[in-house]
Chains A and B, each alone.
Chain A
Amino acid sequence: DVKVTQSSRYLVKRTGEKVFLECVQDMDHENMFWYRQDPGLGLRLIYFSYDVKMKEKGDIPEGYSVSREKKERFSLILESASTNQTSMYLCASESAIAKNIQYFGAGTRLSVL
């Protein structure tokens, strides 16, 4: 089975802190994604990556950056956390061959106080 692991289920941070959300997949997938999920808004794409050291902006990249130094790991970075970034963050991966079949991690619920 494909496994996508997000390092934390719950995080509480203070405004202005730098926050790292980590995601690791074990299926050698080329493509990885970060979404945020908010009630009534569904999932919105923040960033995605189709190769090591490659990244593309999604629909809502402002206030976020990403890092993909290794194929299996995709990190989401909040340079200076703000209260409006309180949300559920979901990481996903997909094979470049079987596109659009995305495998999701369990999510990280981030609270910024």
Chain B
Amino acid sequence: AQSVTQLGSHVSVSEGALVLLRCNYSSSVPPYLFWYVQYPNQGLQLLLKYTSAATLVKGINGFEAEFKKSETSFHLTKPSAHMSDAAEYFCAVSDSGGGADGLTFGKGTHLIIQP
């Protein structure tokens, strides 16, 4: 069974500062990893995904994440935070790549951007 741990339920950064949201996974097989974002009063939308190709994955809105097998991590970064980045971010894992057994989500990290 797979699981993800997101360190920090709330992260606060200043506008223009580096954003770093941490995610560690546990999986018995090579994982597929995802970051989803939820803006206020909306459903989740896919930010980026890792599916065993390049270890550095670029997503939408300037976000990227790096898969590090040795650290079982998939941290999300953005060089310069913008006020519009304020949202809830979820890391998710799947160990199947197939089969409709759903994703396993982390508990989420609420990103706060200080002006």
Contacts and interface: CB of A to CB of B under 8 A. Distances in A.
A106 B42 contact: yes
Size range of the chain A interface in the assembly: 20 to 34
B98 A101 contact: no
A52 interface: no
Contact of B43 (A4, A40, A48): A4
A107 B43 contact: yes
Interface string A29-44: 0110101000011111
Interface string A82-93: 000000001010
Interface in B9-51: 9, 32, 34, 41-46, 49
B71 interface: no
Contacts of B90: 42-43
A42 to B, nearest CB: 4
Interface stretch (B58-66, B78-86, B102-110): B102-110
Interface in A93-113: 94, 96, 99-107
Contacts of A75: none
B94 interface: yes
A35 B108 CA distance: 14
B54 interface: no
Interface of B: 9, 32, 34, 41-46, 49, 90, 92, 94, 96-103, 105-108
21 contacts: A30-B100, A33-B102, A41-B107, A42-B105, A42-B106, A43-B90, A48-B100, A48-B101, A48-B102, A90-B43, A92-B43, A94-B100, A99-B94, A99-B96, A99-B99, A100-B32, A100-B49, A102-B103, A106-B41, A106-B43, A107-B42
